[in-house]
Structure 1
């Protein structure tokens, strides 16, 4: 799961005590995300990280000869887009909460 949106896991572990309601919403997103993350794992994780700029080949020893279809790549791209939007919103929300608590 750390191959996908690690910044959200960081935000969750740093803020769950001070912002439990936000942490619960974030956990709900991460729980649903974990279902998507297991589809075609590890190929989808490598493709996601490739989209993040890491120089990885999208192949797997466990799934030799298997490739992600155009549809599966699109799903990863859309998942990444939603994850980024969610991360930006969550981090802004935690920042506002932190400022209020100071």
Structure 2
């Protein structure tokens, strides 16, 4: 048995303290990870809400400007017709105007 103990080598007397320090660090980092995941979720929800709000406001404003443009164009140029159109009406956030 003495030989088996000798084969095990030196005992790290600080192992318990090192373990506790590592465990404390792990607990801290796990809490930080959870905070970051919750913050990411909140940001994604906020971005989605703002995208919807921007889309609604842009569409409302575009429709009003387009309507006024169609009424104003003939008066400015003595007749004729002109319209404003979205280049990608299915994706308001990435559309252009022609």
Task: Identify the TM-score tier after normalising by the shorter chain.
Answer: 0.3 to 0.5
Q: Given the two structures, how large is their TM-score scaled by the length of structure 1?
A: 0.33
Which has the greater radius of gyration?
2
- Larger relative contact order, structure 1 or 2 (CA cutoff 8 Å, min sep 6): 1
Structure with the higher fraction of residues in helix conformation: 2
Q: Given the two structures, how large is their TM-score scaled by the length of structure 2?
A: 0.34
